[in-house]
Amino acid sequence: MTNTLFKRTAAAGLLALMLTGSVFAGQPWKVATEGTFPPFEFYDSKTGEIQGFEVDLVKEMAKVMDKDLTIVTLGFDAILPAVLSGTVDTGAAGFSITPARQQRVLFTDPFYTSGLTIVTKKGDDSIKGFADLKGKRISVQLGTTSASAAQKIEGAQVTTFNSAGDAILNMLAGNADAVINDKPVTDYVLSQNAQLASQTTHLPEMATADVFAMIASKKNPKLVEEMNAALKILKENGTFNELHIKWFGKPAE
C-alpha cells in the first residue's frame, strides 16, 4: 500500500468514525446557492442547470459525507435567512467571511481566496504589480470592484467594457497597458480561451483579499465539523485540485 493510499484510507476512516452516531449521517442535505456568480455557481446556458466550482465541490462533499444532496437556488440575500430559519442546511454561494456574518452563522474552513489581480500583455515587463499602474491605461469591466479600484490609481486612464474578456481584448489591441479584474473570473476567462491565455500574463499579486467559505446555522456545529472533514479529505485525495483545474485552469495554491 502506498503512502498516498494509506493517507486517503486513514482520512476516510476518521470521517466514518466521526459520522457514527451523528444525527446528520444518512440524512438529506439541503444546500442553497444562486446562479449569477461564475465560475463558482451559474446556470448552464444549454441545459439551464446550476453548475460551477462550488457546486461541484458540494457534490463531492456529499459523496464523502454519505448524504442525499438537494441543491436549491435562491436569491443571494435570501440564503442566509434560509439557513437561520432551517429551511436549508447550508449556504454555498461565494460567501465572504465577515465579522457581521460570523455573529449570525457558522463558517466552514475557507476554500478559496479571491481578490483583484492584474493581466498584462505577455512579454511586457514594465508592470509587475499595482505600484506600477500609476499613469497607465487600464481596462476594466463596467460596474465591478476592479473599476472602482482603477479609478483610485493616480493618473490612470480607465476604460470600461461589458465583460472581462472584452477588457483583455482591448489591451491586446494596444489600447491599454493592463487589465484589473477579480482573480477567479480572470482565471476562468483564460481557462476557457486558450488564445487569450497564450497572449497574456496573469500577475500573482492580489489586492483586497476576500476569503470564501460555506455557511450553516450555529445550531448545527456538528454539520460544520463534517463539512470541514470532507473538505480536508477532498484536498488530500486530489479531488479539490482536479475541480480547481477544471474551473480555473490551474492547480489550487
Residue ranges of the domains in the chain? 3-105+217-248, 115-208
pLDDT band at 163 (very low <50, low <70, confident <90, very high): confident
Please say whether the dihedral angle defined by the alpha carbons of residues 96, 98, 104 and 106, taken in this order, is positive or negative: positive
Predicted pLDDT at 26: 63
Predicted pLDDT at 207: 92
The residue length of the chain stands at 253
Q: pLDDT tens-digit profile of 205-244?
A: 999 888 999 999 999 999 999 999 999 999 999 999 999 9
Residue 25 has pLDDT above 70, yes or no: no
Nearest to 228 by CA among 102, 113, 111: 111
CATH code that applies to domain 3-105+217-248: 3.40.190.10
Q: Which CATH number fits domain 115-208: 3.40.190.10, 2.40.30.170, 3.40.630.30, 1.10.10.10?
A: 3.40.190.10
Predicted pLDDT at 23: 45
Q: pLDDT tens-digit profile of 54-109?
A: 999 999 999 999 999 999 999 999 999 999 999 999 999 999 999 999 999 999 99
Residue 148 has pLDDT above 70, yes or no: yes
pLDDT band at 144 (very low <50, low <70, confident <90, very high): confident
Same fold for the pair 3-105+217-248 and 115-208: yes
pTM given for the model: 0.79
Distances (CA, A) of 142 to 167, 176, 180: 9, 15, 11
